Structure formats: C-alpha cells, structure tokens
Structure 1
Amino acid sequence: MSDIIGITMGDPCGVGPEICIKALADMSPINRARTRIYGNMATLQAARAAVGVEVELDGHVVDLALEGAPLPWGQLSPVAGDAAFRFIEKAVRDAQAGSIACIVTAPINKEALNLAGHHYDGHTGMLRSLTGADHAYMLLASERLKVIHVSTHVSLKDAIARATPERVLATIRAGHAHLRRIGIDAPRIAVAGINPHCGENGLFGTEDDDHIAPAVSAARAEGIDVQGPISADTVFHRAYSGGFDLVVAQYHDQGHIPIKLVAFDTAVNVSVELPIDRTSVDHGTAFDIAGQGLANHGNMNAAIAYARKLVAGGRT
C-alpha cells in the first residue's frame, strides 16, 4: 500500500502554491520522498521564487497543463478555477488507484470554480461527486477541540431541516469511527443543541427534543459514549477544557466559529466517510497577499501531519 501524500496546489492565483512550496521545504528528506504536489510546475517555480527558498521540485510534482502559467497572482480567473478542479480530479483518480494514500488540499476559490463551470459548494461536495460517495462529513480538528458537522454549506433554514434523527445519528457514528481510527479507543462525544438552551423544554422550539435527543439515545444504545443535546453556548468550552473528544455541531457556523476562535491557524479540515482519505487547510486563497511570500504555511503543515497519521492508522 502506498504511503505517498498527494497535495493539490489549489487555485493557481492564490496562496496555495506558496504554502505547498514552504511545506515541501520544511519536510525531512524521507517525508519529501513520500510527497507529490498535484499542480503546475511553472506556477510552483514562480511561487518558489516568491517565497525565496531552495527546494528541488523535480520528482515531487505531478505537472498538469495550465494555459498562460504562471497566471497573475491574486486575480479571480475561470482558467485558474478549472485548473484547481483538474488538480483535484487527478489526485482523486490516483488515490482511487492506490498510487497515493491521502490527499491534502490547498485552498480553492469557489467563485473561480463555478465560473469555470464546476458547480460545487466546495471541496467536500466535489470530492463526494468525484468518488461517487453518498455522503461525507466535515470534521475540523485541532489539538484541544474537534468538531464534526451535521450540515455545512446550506442555509440556516435548510440546516435545521437536515437535523433529522437519522442524519444526527449517522454523524455521531462517523465521528466515533474516525476518532477510534486515529487512536482514541473510547471517544467521548457531545452533541450540540440546535435551539437556545436546547429549546428549554419546548419554550424555544422542539427540534432538540424531537430530533436530536432520539439520535443520541440510539447512539448510546449502540454503545457509543455520547451525551446531548447540550446547549451550544457551553458545550464547546466543556470540550476545549477536556470534557469531550468531539462535538457534533448541527450547522456550519455553530462548529466553525469556536474552532476558528481557538485554532485559527492550526485547525485541519478532514473529510470523513469518503472512500479516499482527504485533509485540508482551513483557510482561503488569500488573494490579497498571494505572490508576496507572506502566507503562513503552519496550517498546511498541520494538514499534512494529520494525513500521515491517517495513513499510519490505515483505512477502516
């Protein structure tokens, strides 16, 4: 089985090429030999010059064509959006074939992606489509707080409708299995409520009693150590303080806000229950600083480290 990590370069006009270069330069020779960047050589060479580091690219790049490369930094471009899609598509096919073990994604620009005719809400939806997966869950992981989401890139109204007992239970199961895979033998999981104070016995809504509580009960009956619903205004603090290994968030901002508050530069985005492994940085393309060598690659290093942990743990 391959132990190679495949890093997709992201939008060629953003900071993805720079953080890929910086991360590659930071690696030990052994880890560098187990790394491939899916992108465009001319763009990566330009990023190397912008960053000002010496790192060999030959043998570490899956070079895909990009008309006009290197493209101007920091500009919205459908050409770049199409290239970002093709980098990911190639990495997915190689992961499916077993020639790489895990994909690490640098940031894409959703507007550029859609201008190019690739109509996805982001990486997770794209990867689900490319792999034919029925579903995938977004898990954000940091050292002291981990969050998995019942729903992500939908309106708040739609997110509430999606918080069904079946979907909440499936999210609990997915999070439990993932934590066991990374070495937590008996995960402690909390499920956040969806209404203020979990509805206060119906005073502020009944969704917590009608939808979330039954899912928690069903998961406990399966032997999962899970509690909830717990009011969202306290559950993340309790988890951050060591009370839980994972919080199930009901919608995008409920989970993203606490993670970005406590681990803005280090949190890793993990796609759970895809047929391939994927981790990602948890930031955008940063067009305003692209090409200046200023981008912080700490988040990329964290995503790569998490990917290597997944590879070491094997698939479930």
Structure 2
Amino acid sequence: MDWRGRRQSDNIEDRRGDPGGGGFGRGGGFNFPSGGGVRRAGGGLSIGTIIFLVVIYFIFKLMGIDLLQVLDTGSMTSGPGYEQSQSEGTRTPANDEMTAFMRTVLAETEDTWNGIFQAQGQNYQEPRLVLFSGQTQSACGFASAATGPFYCPGDHKVYLDTDFFQELSDRFGASGDFAEAYVVAHEVGHHVQNLLGILPKFNQARQRMSEDEANKMSVRVELQADCFAGIWGKYTEQKGLLESGDLEEALNAAQQIGDDTLQKRSQGYVVPESFNHGTSQQRVRWFKRGFDSGQLSACDTFSGPV
C-alpha cells in the first residue's frame, strides 16, 4: 500500500505505556508507595521493615524481576512525543512507523466515509483509534491483547493492540500492510454500522435471542463489516494507493480468520453453530463484494443467505 506522505488522522489515542497498561514499566502493574521515595516512619526505618523489604527484594529477584531497575525506570519522565514501552522497558517514539501507518489508514477511512455520508446528505462522525499494549480500559469494559481488535459503540472507539499484527503474520500467515489496513477498516465498518443504527438494533434484539440465533445474527453483522471494509478498499484503489499484491493480502487475511479455519487450526474440527464471524469463504466473498461494487447497497447481509 502506497501510504507514505499522505494525510494522517489526529483521531488517535496512543496508550502504549499508559499507567493502566500492565507490565513493570512506569505506572505499570506493580507500584511502590510514592511521595519522595520510601516513606520514613519516626525518622527512620525499623529493623523489621528493613528485613521485610530485603525479603521482598529477593523474592522478586528469584522471579527474574530487579525491583531496583523498576524503581529507576519509574523515575523517568516521558517527554512530548514519547510513550513508555511496556514490553521492552524503553521509550518508543509516538510517531514511529506503525503509528504513522495507523494514522494514515484511519485518515483514508475518514475520507471514504465522509464522502459516502455526505453524498447521502448525512454527517459522518469520525471514530477514534486507541493503540494500546497489553491491556487498557474501554467503555465496553476491560480489554487485553487476548481480546483482539474490537470496536466499542459505547465510546465510538476502535481498540487495537498493535502486537496483534505480529500474531496475524506469524500465527495466521496473513502478512502485509494491506492485511493490517483491512483489520482497521473492518473495525471502522462496525462504527459505520453503529452510526446507521444497525448495531443498536442488533444489540437490542440479541437480548431476546437464543445463543444459536445470536451467533447467526452476529455472523451477518461481521460479514457486513467485511463488506464495508471492501468498500473502503475500492476507494483506496481508485486513489491509486494499492500496490501489486495488496488485494491478495486482504483476501488472505479474511481467509485466515474465518471461523472454520480458526477452529480447524485450534481444535482440528469445526462447530458451525458456534460461528459468530463467518466462514473463510463468506468473509472473502463479502469483502470482495464491497470491493467490486463500492456501494452500500451491495452490503445487505441481512436479506437472504450469506
């Protein structure tokens, strides 16, 4: 994808290294009493306190954690444009290549959906993309790396642990920048559904559904988001941003994260009634339908078979 040098969105929250993010970095999962270092009681530390601190130090040392290093890291300050990396314990520029790529992809989705909504006499409310590492909080509850990318209608934000892209490549065999862009475009597709009133209706209706019925309806919701991602892909192609092999990258990603493919990989067999995102064939077909047509009308996954 020819993305460098293009407009970048400001609707990004880079929470990588934020206090709620986990790990042992600054503001991480373990914090020592603050207020100018170790608080002194009665002008000094008692023998019992000293022994307790020594014992704690060696317990953590046996676990491979150097508390002195953690304390030293915790005293660092993050200047403008930097975030604390929890996985490596170092500061990472907030304008690194991944962030620049995410900003650009999000900007392209904004341009696409602003144009489509305006053509229909509506205003498109742009979502925010939250980049995090490890874990974070959302209006939809606690999110971790295991959650995977998701959209929260409660705060109109897309949540993405950027390490997911490494897993997408290494574990699922779906590499490439356009495969990564497809993931973002799919989640933005859920935002479009929210604005169109589709998600609210589904979330209300599912309360009266059985688990099997809710799964079947969820498949239709997810496949429509794939189709919307395909529409974005079409507009991106029309701008001349697609490079050789880009479309194949997106289709391969859709193929690799189908419910049937994932279940075969993880457990060796499939349970169709548990599908909630769609089969590989369905996900590829609906992305391709959106890509080929570029029209919202082509993405009606709720009428007829999927």
TM-score (norm 2): 0.28
**Larger gyration radius, structure 1 or structure 2:** 2
TM-score (norm 1): 0.28
